[in-house]
Amino acid sequence: MTNPNQPLHVLFLCTHNSARSILAEAILNHIGGGRFKGFSAGSSPRANQQPNPLGLQVLQDAGISTQGLRSKSWDEFALPDAPHMDLIITVCDNAAGETCPFWPGHPATAHWGYADPSAGEGSDAQKLEAFRQTLHAIRRRLELLTALSPEKLEKTLLQTTAHALAQE
């Protein structure tokens, strides 16, 4: 981490910022222990986009706060007064292939792809289960990230570390 007294800021990107990136933001803020601060955004959120209700439900069922979660454009994080990001992680393949805005400070980047739990067909119970599975997959990887030693989170190693976690 560039400053061990400040949390490592992690921005999770997806296309609409309604499911996977929202889950990742909430999970990291829940398990980050003050060492990490999660944010999320979308490359092209729809007009009046809101977090997916099933995503909010699985977070609440897991005891994770949903307070303050909202869908937003990644443009918010390219503004001069936006929080400085240390790591940017795309969580969907569409966002990974897009040209991102300029990020001040040249943060480390990685792609951790997850299937879209909101894209599936099926009963309400099956859709909810898809969100649960996505939550657990994201949480497993974020637990590995938050367990890393401060040395592994130094700016020079963060890029390599984040890419390696994509294989977990």
Q: Give pLDDT, residue 98.
A: 57
Q: Which neighbouring-strand residues pair with 73?
A: 42
pLDDT surpasses 90 at 167: no
pLDDT (mean) for 133-143? 97
Residue listed under structure tokens 């800021």: 9
Residue 3 confidence (pLDDT) = 61
pLDDT score of 138 more than 90: yes
> Residues 87-121: pLDDT tens digits?
999 998 765 455 666 667 778 888 999 999 988 78
pLDDT band for position 159 (cuts 50, 70, 90): confident
Q: What is the pLDDT of residue 31?
A: 98
Gap between the terminal Cα atoms of the chain: 21
Give the span between the Cα atoms of 15 and 91, in whole angstroms.
9
Q: If you count them, how many residues does the chain have?
A: 168
Per-residue model confidence as pLDDT tens digits over 33-46: 999 999 999 988 77
pLDDT at 6: 87
pLDDT of residue 32: 96
Scanning the structure block, which residue is given the tokens 């979308």? 42
Tell me the pTM: 0.89
pLDDT at position 1, please? Answer: 47
pLDDT of residue 103: 67
The average confidence (pLDDT) of the chain is 88
Share of the chain above pLDDT 70, in %: 90
In whole angstroms, give the CA distance from residue 31 to residue 34. Answer: 8
Going across the sheet that includes 108-111, the strands are 36-42, 8-14, 87-90, 108-111
- φ/ψ of residue 20, rounded to 5: -60, -45
